[in-house]
Chains A and B, each alone.
Chain A
Amino acid sequence: KNQVEQSPQSLIILEGKNCTLQCNYTVSPFSNLRWYKQDTGRGPVSLTIMTFSENTKSNGRYTATLDADTKQSSLHITASQLSDSASYICVVSDDYKLSFGAGTTVTVRA
């Protein structure tokens, strides 16, 4: 069964600090890995998409890494802002279906 596991489940950081979220997956075959940001009561918004050959991709203060050999990915948030408070979901695609992680809830405090 294709699985996507994220850690930590939740974290609290102070504004301006950095944090890293982890994602491990067993999805096969692998097409791409995506990180989404989901604000409370809203739909997910894409942050990054990485294919097998890409090992890092940035979107502003968000940087995602991918190690396709170990099937691990991370999302690094730099200089966090209050607006970064949200759930971050790791999603892995096998060319047709998406497998969702449970998400990491990030709370940024002033």
Chain B
Amino acid sequence: GAVVSQHPSWVICKSGTSVKIECRSLDFQATTMFWYRQFPKQSLMLMATSNEGSKATYEQGVEKDKFLINHASLTLSTLTVTSAHPEDSSFYICSARDLDRDYEQYFGPGTRLTVT
């Protein structure tokens, strides 16, 4: 089946630094990838939609200059949290859309970010 990987699975960084999270579709091509954030005991919240070769579309309230998204290939999208603060600590999940499978979305395993 379709597999989406994320790296790293967890990361701890100091306040003010930047951290990059990778999302890869391992066995299919994804022209569209999605980035979600999930706080404890809450459901996933869409942050942005990333289309290969174009600028990401951010949801209302999500700072595009803080959460930089790059989707340079059909199998890789990256989310960079710039100048991280403790309130950015969360579980970040990506999903990839498989056009060959009726637009099914497959989720990655998530990345736990802790900002100290």
By a beta-carbon cutoff of 8 Å, the part of chain A in contact with chain B is 36, 41-46, 49, 89, 95, 97-98, 100-103, 105
Contact = CB atoms under 8 A, between A and B. Distances in A.
A45 B93 CA distance: 12
Contacts of B112: 41
Contacts of B104: 46, 49
Given A89-B43, A100-B44, A42 B105 contact: no
Contacts of A102: 42-43
Interface size class of B (residues with CB under 8 A): 20 to 34
Contact of A44 (B44, B46, B103): B44
A45 B107 contact: yes
27 contacts: A36-B107, A41-B91, A41-B110, A41-B112, A42-B109, A42-B110, A43-B4, A43-B93, A43-B95, A43-B107, A43-B109, A43-B110, A44-B93, A44-B107, A45-B107, A46-B104, A46-B106, A89-B43, A89-B44, A97-B46, A98-B46, A100-B43, A100-B45, A101-B43, A102-B43, A103-B43, A105-B41
